[in-house]
Structure formats: structure tokens, C-alpha cells
Chain A
Amino acid sequence: MSGRSISLILFSVLVLATLGITFWASRQTKTPSDFYAAGRRIQGWQNGVAISGDYMSAASFLGIAGLISLFGYDGFLYSVGWLVAYLTVLLLVAEMLRNSGRYTMADVLAFRMRQKPVRSAAAISTVGVSIFYLVAQMVGAGALMRLLLGLTGDTAAIGAIVGVGVLMIVYVTFGGMIGTTWVQIVKAVLLMAGTVLLSFLVLAKFGFSMNKMFADAAAASGKGDAFLRPGLRYTNTLDLFSLGLALVLGTAGLPHILIRFYTVPTAQAARRSVNWAIGIIGTFYIMTTFLGFGAAALVGHAAITKADKAGNMAGPLLAQSIGGGADSFGGELFLAFIAAVAFATILAVVAGLTITASSSFAHDFYGSVIRKGERDENAEVRVARITALFIGAIAIVLASFARGMNVAFLVGLAFAVAASANLPTILFSLYWKRFTTTGAVVGILVGLFSCLLLVAVGPNVIGAKGLFLKDASPLFGLENPGVVSIPIGFLAAYLGTVLSREKASEERYEELRVRALTGIGAEEAEPAPTTPARV
């Protein structure tokens, strides 16, 4: 049996299994709370596994292993921030957010503010961040499926993009948050199983001596000891600092991660979710060392870059080599398995992003702005389902046009926007008594647009390494805008508050304080009735 047909069988099993989950989830989804937040019935550990599934994208699975295989130490350095970021989530955000919101990030931002302006701004930022992330994932999906299935030509890439897009629409429209959660759990289990197995086999090849693995990798890389120290990939300290800052602060502002905390019944369960996520994600990134250095030593630099210049094939090629090499049954089986894991990874992440963007549009924009707060949550859910269709269609079109481009920087942009626009507003909302509506709106919009502007005039877009104007030099020298845009976001939220004459609602702040700290009003698994009694 050829590798491609094994791959196709595994892919089909995966698609059928996830569609089965979606069908089951659709039968469980009866109320708006079920659709948006899985009825708050997800257990802490389950949510922790789902967060890991939501977070570890193909970029981190294949991308970081690839970076390590090509640049050694610098690749491992890059992976660290992805984990440490969860301490920001754990300490500052997770529990208070769960206690004070219900369905979207804007629930917390708008809690003590005027609903319309804050929800509109938060919806723009949520949909924006999710679409950048989504397009990056789907362009990656197109390229990866082509590589993994050994197909050629644009039709294959577009086919993969459309296939992934249609599946994510189905998961979200029919399965809602329950379906999305279980797709993410299945993916996380597959990803961890694949990574543990591969790491074990790699270590066995080196007689369980990491020392030998490092030595062989450094020798095979052709760079010697330089492979084991910083400097092969990141040469600009300020850019590296900026990247680290955006990672470590941005995760706590990523809407698709934040809304996962609404799916659990208590603050303790939210805490337990982050702890599980930290355990899983930490273990995963430590193991990428084995995949990356293992690939450098066993597959070799030339073979990795020949398959894909960015190194994305390092993991799959390593699996093939461990299984017995190309054209052996074991090699093809391992390759197909890793390809299926990568496919599951992409599906779980895009489903999480799609439900986030759709929920925010329906709950924040349609519910608050179009219906002017006369809430009808059942109508909102209908709107959310239709929105998922549109978000999916938009992502398919954008990703098809961008398929040949290097859009990896879009993930960095999503983190920078999350850290510059969302995090300042979340922190001030929760912890600063004087914070006002003007401060929140100004903070979100200035943070968002300063990131977009700095990236648009930076080296990823303009100049030799950029998408356009290859002869020009970029106006802003850093690839990562965080070091400039994050302070701008905090400053804008602060100045918007102190310079406007608006007075913060003290009474509403007290309510948020009591609720966020104690959980009063957010204890039940099922939240309050959908149509409030007007007093």
C-alpha cells in the first residue's frame, strides 16, 4: 500500500470521527448557553486538554520542530514563550474572566461600560484577530496537505483550503461549542500520542543520550557548536524581545483562548484547566527538542530544506526515517500518521477560531448594536450559525488568494494585536476602578491600528523579505511590533480614561469586583434565563 493511500484512509477516519462528534454534539445543543459555552458543563481537565488543542497549531507542531531542525538553539528559544504565556493567563485573567463574563471576551470588557461602543470595538478586534490567525492556518493547511500528500499544483492547495474551510463551518454551525471542544480534545490526544511516540523512538536511536543527540545534530547541521547557541535565526535583540513580549502578554488576550474559560462551571475549574494546559503544552514543547534535533541529526539539513525551505517537513520526514525510511511500509505508515495528526491539528484550531469570531459577531455586534440590547439569544444563535458560514467563506477566499505568500507573520500579528488592544483593556477593566468607556474604546482601537500600521510598513510587507515593494526599505525596522504597540495600547487606554470628562460608574465597578472575586452570580452550570425580567 502506498503512503498516499494510507494517508487518505487515516484522513477519512478522522473526518468521519469528527463528523460523528459533531452530530452527537448537535443533539446536545439545546440552549444558547450550550452553543456558546457548552452549557458550562465541561470539566476542568477536559477544558485544559481542549485549550491545548485550541492553542497548539500546525505552526507550533511542524513549524517549531522545523525551526529547531534548521536553526538549533534559536528554535527551542522560540518555543519557550508559548508556554510561559499561560502564567499570565493563570494569574491575571482566567478565573476573574470566567466569573464575570458569559459568552464572549466583550462580556468582561463591557461589563461596567456603555454596551454599544465597547462591544463594537471588541467585536472588531475579536473578528480581526481570529481572521488573521485563521488565514495563516488555512494557507498553512494548503501548503502542508500538498507536501504531506505529495500532490502538486495550485488545485491541490485550493482543494485543501476549501476542504478544511467546509469542515470547520460544519463543526461550528452544527456542533457549536460542544462539538468544537471535543474536536479539540481528540486532536490534543492524537498530537500528544504522536509526539511522545516519536520522541521516544528518536531518543532510542541515540541510546537515550541527549548528549549524543546534540553532538550528532550539531555535526550534521554543518554549523558545529553554533547550532547549540543563539544567533542562527534571531540576530536583532530588540526584535526578539518584542516577539517574546507579544507572546507572553498576547495569549491572555486571544479571544479564542479566553472564551474557553466560559465552558467550565467554577473558578476552580478554570484554574484547573490552565494547570492542565500548562502541563500538556509544557511537555509538548520540551519534546519538540527531540523532534527538531532528532530531525537535524537523522534526516539532515539538505533533505529537510529540499522538501520545504521553511523546515515544516522536518517532523514528517523524521517520522518517515524512524519508521524505516522512504518506500518502506513502516516509513510510509509513520509519515501518514504524522500527516493525519497535522490535519487534526489544523481542524481543531480553525474550528476554535471560527466559533470565536461568529459568537462575537452575533452576541456583541448583532445582539448589542443591531438589536440595541433587546436581547433574543435564540435569534443570536441563529445569527452566529449563519456568521460561521460567512467567516468560513471569507477565510477560504482570503486563504486561496494568499496561498503562495509567506503569511506566517499573521500569527505574530494576531498575538501583537491581542497584547496591544485586548490585554490592556481586559486588565484595566478588571483591576482599575477609574477605567471608562472612552478609555476602553480608545485602547482597543489605537492598540489594533498601531499594530496593523507597524506591520504594514515593516519588513514582512515592504522590502527584500516582504510581500510588496521589494526594492524599498521598510519604514519600521522590526518584524514584531509588540515592543512599540503594547505600550501604545496601555497608554491609549490610560489617556482615553484620564483625558475624557466621563466618570466611571463606581456602582458597576463594585458589582464587577464582587462578582469577579467571589463568583456570585456565575456559579450555576446553566446561566440565568434568556429573557430578563425588567424591573
Chain B
Amino acid sequence: MASDSRYRPEDRPVSAAGETAVEAVGQDPELTELERRHNRFIWPVTAFFLVYYLSLNVLAGTAPGFMGRKVFGQFTFGYLFALSQFLMAFIVAWAYTRFARRRIDPLAADLRDKFHDKEVAR
């Protein structure tokens, strides 16, 4: 491996026991679980906010009359829908942060500890 010039050896950390990160935790079921949780959150939520956002532009283009309908006072449906995008962004950011703190960070910290503690474990 080390002979292959396309790789940069400095990118590869080595644990105290002389193992690379992949050797130390690459096969760990915790890593698979971490990846699974991550993917199961980010892709559906990304699909959701893309659809929610792009539907604002599509509605503005195709249904200006509907968007211009006043819901109360001078507040149109279009204005409230656009404003709701900001609220949506705040909520998604909050939900992701909460998810990552509870479901991702502990696993990642555990895997880092395993890597650093390899020497102790032997």
C-alpha cells in the first residue's frame, strides 16, 4: 500500500498499538450503526426541505393569484408561506442538532476512544 504514490501517508493516523483507524474500528458494528443512523436521518430530511423550499418557487410562478390571497390584513398566503420557510429552516436545524447530539456524537466519541485505547486493551 505504502508504495502506491496516489496516497498521502500523512493522512493516515496510527493508534498507539500501530493500527490504522480502519484496522482498529473499520469493522466495528458501532461504526455501521453510526452510518446507518446518519443516512436514515439526513437523506429523508434533505428530500423534505428541498421539496418544501422548491414548492414556494413553483407556486409563486404558477399560482400568483392564490399566493396573493390575503389571509388576514395585508398578509398574503405567499408572504406567510415564504416566512414559514425561515421557521422550517430553524426547526430542521434544531432537530438535526438534537438528533446528532443524542444519536451520533456518543457513538463517534466511543469509536474515537476505542481507537485511542487500543494499546490499553491489549
Count of A-B contacts judged by CB separation below 8 Å: 189
Q: Which of B39-54 contact A (CB under 8 A)?
A: 41-42, 45-46, 49-50, 53-54
Chain A hits for B35, CB < 8 A: 513, 517
Q: Which of A503-527 contact B (CB under 8 A)?
A: 505, 507-508, 510-511, 513-515, 517-521, 523
Chain A hits for B67, CB < 8 A: 73, 229-230
Q: Mark B4-47, 1 if CB is under 8 A from A, else 0.
A: 01111111110000001110011000010011001001100110
Chain A hits for B89, CB < 8 A: 83-84, 86-87, 278, 282
Closest 5 CB pairs of A and B: A229-B68, A237-B61, A532-B10, A214-B74, A521-B13
CB atoms of A285 and B61 under 8 A apart? no
Q: Mark A381-405, 1 if CB is under 8 A from B, else 0.
A: 0000000000000000000000000
CB atoms of A241 and B22 under 8 A apart? no
- Return B60 CB to nearest CB of chain A, in Å: 4
Q: A231 on the interface (CB 8 Å rule)?
A: yes
Q: A245 on the interface (CB 8 Å rule)?
A: yes
CB atoms of B100 and A518 under 8 A apart? no
Chain B hits for A521, CB < 8 A: 11-13, 21
CB atoms of B61 and A240 under 8 A apart? yes
Chain A hits for B93, CB < 8 A: 86-87, 90, 274-275, 278
- Return A381 CB to nearest CB of chain B, in Å: 17
CB atoms of B21 and A515 under 8 A apart? yes
Q: Report how far A87 CA is from B96 CA in the complex, Å.
A: 10
For the residues of B in contact with A, the DSSP-based class is: helix
Q: Report how far A11 CA is from B9 CA in the complex, Å.
A: 48
- Given contacts A73-B78, A73-B79, A91-B96, whether A236 and B86 have CB atoms under 8 Å apart is no
- Given contacts A91-B46, A113-B6, whether A80 and B34 have CB atoms under 8 Å apart is no
Chain B hits for A533, CB < 8 A: 9
Q: Report how far A304 CA is from B19 CA in the complex, Å.
A: 66
- Return B114 CB to nearest CB of chain A, in Å: 9
Chain A hits for B22, CB < 8 A: 507, 510-511, 514
Residue contacts A-B, CB under 8 angstroms, 6 given: A76-B82, A87-B46, A87-B93, A229-B67, A230-B64, A234-B61
- Return A110 CB to nearest CB of chain B, in Å: 9
Q: B83 on the interface (CB 8 Å rule)?
A: yes
CB atoms of A508 and B64 under 8 A apart? no
Q: What residue of chain B has the Cβ atom nearest to residue A238's Cβ?
A: B61
A275 CB contact (under 8 Å) in B5, B13, B75, B97: B97
CB atoms of B54 and A211 under 8 A apart? no
- Given contacts A83-B86, A229-B64, whether A519 and B1 have CB atoms under 8 Å apart is no
- Given contacts A77-B60, A218-B74, A240-B61, whether A517 and B34 have CB atoms under 8 Å apart is yes
Q: Which of B67-115 contact A (CB under 8 A)?
A: 67-68, 70, 73-76, 78-79, 82-83, 85-86, 88-90, 92-93, 96-97, 100-101, 105, 108, 111-112, 115
Q: What residue of chain B has the Cβ atom nearest to residue A211's Cβ?
A: B73
- Return B110 CB to nearest CB of chain A, in Å: 9
Given A77-B57, A92-B46, A521-B21: 6 more A-B contacts, CB < 8 Å: A74-B60, A84-B85, A240-B57, A275-B93, A519-B108, A520-B115
- Return A531 CB to nearest CB of chain B, in Å: 8
- Return A534 CB to nearest CB of chain B, in Å: 7
Chain B hits for A244, CB < 8 A: 53-54, 56-57
Which bucket holds chain B's interface residue count? 35 or more
Most interface-central of B10, B11, B46, B89 (chain A CB within 10 A)? B11
CB atoms of A511 and B100 under 8 A apart? no
Q: Report how far A529 CA is from B10 CA in the complex, Å.
A: 8
CB atoms of B79 and A76 under 8 A apart? yes
CB atoms of B53 and A80 under 8 A apart? yes
Q: Which of A197-249 contact B (CB under 8 A)?
A: 210-211, 214-215, 218, 225-226, 228-231, 234, 236-238, 240-241, 243-245, 248
- Return A85 CB to nearest CB of chain B, in Å: 9
- Return B62 CB to nearest CB of chain A, in Å: 6
CB atoms of B38 and A517 under 8 A apart? yes
Q: B58 on the interface (CB 8 Å rule)?
A: yes
Q: What residue of chain A has the Cβ atom nearest to residue B42's Cβ?
A: A91
CB atoms of B86 and A286 under 8 A apart? yes
Chain B hits for A241, CB < 8 A: 54, 57-58, 61
Chain B hits for A267, CB < 8 A: 108
Chain B hits for A511, CB < 8 A: 11-12, 20-22
Q: Report how far A90 CA is from B104 CA in the complex, Å.
A: 14
CB atoms of B50 and A80 under 8 A apart? no
Q: Report how far A517 CA is from B86 CA in the complex, Å.
A: 29
Q: Report how far A529 CA is from B9 CA in the complex, Å.
A: 12
CB atoms of A92 and B57 under 8 A apart? no
B62 CB contact (under 8 Å) in A215, A237, A514, A517: A237
Q: What residue of chain A has the Cβ atom nearest to residue B77's Cβ?
A: A229
Most interface-central of B64, B88, B112 (chain A CB within 10 A)? B64
Chain B hits for A535, CB < 8 A: 2, 9
Most interface-central of B21, B34, B41, B58 (chain A CB within 10 A)? B21
CB atoms of B53 and A84 under 8 A apart? yes
Chain B hits for A507, CB < 8 A: 1, 22
Chain B hits for A159, CB < 8 A: none
Chain B hits for A113, CB < 8 A: 6
Q: A499 on the interface (CB 8 Å rule)?
A: no
Q: What residue of chain A has the Cβ atom nearest to residue B39's Cβ?
A: A431
CB atoms of B64 and A84 under 8 A apart? no
Q: A31 on the interface (CB 8 Å rule)?
A: no
- Given contacts A248-B53, A511-B22, whether A230 and B75 have CB atoms under 8 Å apart is no
Chain A hits for B88, CB < 8 A: 84
Chain B hits for A128, CB < 8 A: none
Q: What residue of chain A has the Cβ atom nearest to residue B15's Cβ?
A: A520
Chain A hits for B108, CB < 8 A: 267, 517-519
